[in-house]
Structure 1
């Protein structure tokens, strides 16, 4: 293997690592947003059914 081939392989590994990081971050942001929305919905539901 030449130095160019090794550099290309390392660059490809870094790109795959970045892609995984972006996908993981997107998953957590989407999951967190849904959890927050569910909590807000729960507050409205409980507020609407509270004894007044």
Structure 2
């Protein structure tokens, strides 16, 4: 029994999606702060 048997595929997919969404969201907030700081 390896690690992949312990965790279902749906959990890995959900984790992967959360990672991508989290990075996109963080990048968007960073961009907002950069644009806001430059516009002053």
Question: What is the TM-score when the length of structure 1 is the normalising length?
Answer: 0.61
Name segments (4+ residues, structure 1) moved above 4 Å: none
Aligned pairs for 1:10-49 within 5 A: 19-49=8-38
Matched position secondary structure for 1:49 = helix
Cα-Cα RMSD: 1.4
Question: What stretches of structure 1 of length at least 5 have no aligned partner?
Answer: 1-15
Question: What stretches of structure 2 of length at least 5 have no aligned partner?
Answer: none
Question: What is the TM-score when the length of structure 2 is the normalising length?
Answer: 0.77
